[in-house]
Amino acid sequence: MKRKLKIYLPFVNAGIQEVATYRINWIFFMLGNALACFVSYFIWSAVYESGGGGSMSGFTMPQMVVYIVLMFLTGTVIASDAAYVVGEEIRDGTIAMRLIKPVSYNATFLFQELGNKLPTEIAIAAPMIIAVEIIRTVLSGEVQFSALSLVLYLFSCVLAYLINFYFNICFGFIAFVIKYLWGANMMKNAVIGFLSGTVIPLSFLPGALEKVFLFLPFSSLNYTPVMIYMGKYSGARLWYYIGLQAFWALFFFVLSKLLWKASVKRLTVQGG
Amino acid sequence: MKNIKRAFRIHRIFMAQEFKRMMEYKGDFIVGIISFFLVQLSNLLFLWIIFSRIPNLMGWTVNEVVFIYGLSLIPKGIDHFYFDNLWSIGFFIVRKGDFDKYLTRPVNTLFHVLTEKIQIDALGELIMGVALVCVSVQGISAQWDVFRILAMILMIPFITLIFTGIKTITASVAFWTKRSGNVIYMFYMVSDFAKYPAAIYNRFVRNVITYIIPFALTSYYPALFILRGENPLFNLGMPILASVVLMGAGIFVWHRGLRAYESAGS
């Protein structure tokens, strides 16, 4: 364990330094993403106003505001660039450098990305959770904060990140087939945006479709943690969804290993 | 006159080059178009789901909302198709020092950057935009006359320049800071507000997207005239004015930036 830490900690460090270099850029990027939140807010308030207020598919307008903010937060916390990084390395051949080192291919990515994300997550998560609680308290007129929900939410986010990370590793292998990674990623993001409930809460979908989407791995990404934080899942249902998350995390972990083994055999790197 | 002819000739040569490149990577072409198509599809599903629950959105029917959405995609798509290269300026051309290439050629740098590449992915947006406008007008009982249709078509080049102007200004920031890709991204994301009728926003947001980063001028205001015949002077005049001002500012800032540009090391 100690040896492992010694191997992988430098990767975390490298990730932290990477992100520190482009801090200003990151702020503009986040501001750009936050704008999409504002658009959602306005469109939903128009929808609720036009629909005569009240509750829609289990969401009142104040809950929808909380949902939008939490979706944004969760999306940022669990984001992973792995598909792009893996694809790029396959395409330009630098993947060969990983093969000659006595470390796990996936693990080096994981730790580098964690280093990349940790500073930003701490910077963004705490203020946003506080903001969510203030919004909730003001809109509903009573304190709704639950420490248990917060802890479960964070735990669920960790699982969601692992699913996302290993799914993205798997998706990165698509570079063997599609050379246009930017397009492939765009496609993936469009589909996942919808399936994960980022575009619209899954409970707004027709019943049968909702059931299918809830089982697919993508609802385990953003939707499950957000629903847990909002206290929509409880008792057996809560544990079912957390279990489902664990299942998908394991599934993609194993799949990524298998794909890695298979693709190393196929890998041809042209001279540099 | 001679200059214009020359510009067109250069543009043609660049385009021919780009088409050759594209034919080399046919798969990319399909992936790119499908990806932008899917993004739009997801937005449309959203509209479809919410409109199954409400009769209209603050007085706008589903067809009108789809019309505004589709109309916003057309100039956005054209800008994306022709002038996508500005993103590369912001993200890496300046940072890597590759911009030197443009300085050594006997063509205006901005003209060169704008005409050098085309982005075929944009067809995903463009086709979707045209299709949505065509489908939605059938369900709108507006008074169609030649003038409105003509206004719609003639507005598109101007509106395109609103996008290009904003991208040029923000891309130019890279001349000072080396990297401005995410600055372009942030301003470009404001165009998301243009997808829906501006009536749904509060006064502050509406003023920002009308007068400061005027993406509401790209589809909502023209649509007010095209669909409802309201106030043509403002609804058509403002977008034209904004496009001239923004593109003018873009050209000015770009050339100011050139003076500040110093090639990157390594």
Residue A178 contacts B where some CB pair is shorter than 8 Å = yes
Task: Give the tens place of pLDDT for each residue, B109-139.
Answer: 999 999 988 888 899 899 999 999 999 988 8
Query: Above 90 in pLDDT, residue A141?
Result: no
Residue B245's pLDDT is 97
CA–CA distance, A6 with A143 (Å, rounded to integer): 44
Token pair in block for residue B212: 């400061």
CB B85 within 8 A of CB B174: no
Using the structure block, give the residue that is written with the tokens 């936050």.
A34
Is A28 close to B182, i.e. CB distance below 8 A?
Answer: yes
CA–CA distance, B209 with B193 (Å, rounded to integer): 8
CB A58 within 8 A of CB A226: no
Residue A209 contacts B where some CB pair is shorter than 8 Å = no
Residue A104's pLDDT is 77
Closest in A33, A50, A183 to B28, CB measured: A183
Query: Above 80 in pLDDT, residue A99?
Result: no
Using the structure block, give the residue that is written with the tokens 């909502």.
B220
Cα–Cα distances (Å) from A108 to A8, A114, A166, A169, in that order, read 7, 10, 13, 12
Q: How confident is the model at residue A93 (pLDDT cuts 50, 70, 90)?
A: confident
Q: How confident is the model at residue A272 (pLDDT cuts 50, 70, 90)?
A: very low
Residue B252 contacts A where some CB pair is shorter than 8 Å = no
Chain B closest-CA separation from residue A92 CA (Å): 16
Residue A110's pLDDT is 86
Q: Which amino acid is at A196?
A: S
Is A183 close to B189, i.e. CB distance below 8 A?
Answer: no
Q: What is the mean predicted confidence (pLDDT) over A241-259?
A: 95
CA dihedral A184→A189→A194→A195, nearest 10 degrees, is: 80
Long-range residue pairs from A254-257, CB within 8 A, at least 24 positions apart, any chain:
A255/A166, A255/A170, A256/A106, A256/A166, A256/A169, A256/A170, A257/A106
DSSP string, B19-49: HHHHHHTHHHHHHHHHHHHHHHHHHHHHHHH
Residue B220's pLDDT is 94
**Minimal-distance CA residue of chain A relative to B119:** A183
Residue A270's pLDDT is 59
Exposed e or buried b per residue across B159-183, where buried means at least 16 C-beta atoms within 10 angstroms of its C-beta: bbbbbbbbbbbbbbbbbeebbbbbb
Q: What is the mean predicted confidence (pLDDT) over A78-101?
A: 82
Using the structure block, give the residue that is written with the tokens 């998301």.
B192
Q: Which residue from B200, B70, B199 is spatially nearest to B138, judged by alpha carbons? A: B70
Between residues A267 and B68, which one has the greater pLDDT? B68
Token pair in block for residue B1: 């006159």
Report the percent of chain A where pLDDT is more than 90: 44
Q: How confident is the model at residue B18 (pLDDT cuts 50, 70, 90)?
A: confident
Task: Give the tens place of pLDDT for each residue, A168-202.
Answer: 999 988 888 887 888 888 899 999 999 999 999 99
Task: Give the tens place of pLDDT for each residue, B43-99.
Answer: 999 999 999 889 889 889 999 999 999 999 999 999 999 999 999 999 989 988 889
Q: At what angle do helices A105-140 and A147-172 cross, to 10 degrees?
A: 140
Q: % helix / strand / coil in chain A, to the nearest 5? A: 80, 0, 20
Residue B205's pLDDT is 92
DSSP string, A141-183: SS----HHHHHHHHHHHHHHHHHHHHHHHHHHGGGGT-S-HHH
Instruction: Spell out the domain ranges in chain A.
Output: 8-266
What residues contact B157, with CB distance under 8 A and at least 6 apart?
A: B78
CA–CA distance, A88 with A182 (Å, rounded to integer): 10
Residue B197's pLDDT is 93
Token pair in block for residue A207: 């019943």
Residue B226 burial class via C-beta count within 10 angstroms: exposed 0-12, middle 13-18, buried 19 and up: buried
Residue A271's pLDDT is 53
Token pair in block for residue A227: 């629903």
CB A42 within 8 A of CB B199: no
Query: Above 80 in pLDDT, residue A268?
Result: no
Residues in chain B closer than 8 A to A64 (CB atoms): none
CA–CA distance, A233 with B243 (Å, rounded to integer): 50
Is B58 close to A32, i.e. CB distance below 8 A?
Answer: no
Q: How confident is the model at residue A69 (pLDDT cuts 50, 70, 90)?
A: very high
Residue A41's pLDDT is 93
Strand partners, B57: B60
Strand partners, A60: A55
CB A21 within 8 A of CB B177: no
pTM of the predicted protein model: 0.88
Between residues A17 and A130, which one has the greater pLDDT? A130
Residues in chain A closer than 8 A to B189 (CB atoms): 32-33, 35-36
Residue A107 contacts B where some CB pair is shorter than 8 Å = no
Query: Above 60 in pLDDT, residue A203?
Result: yes
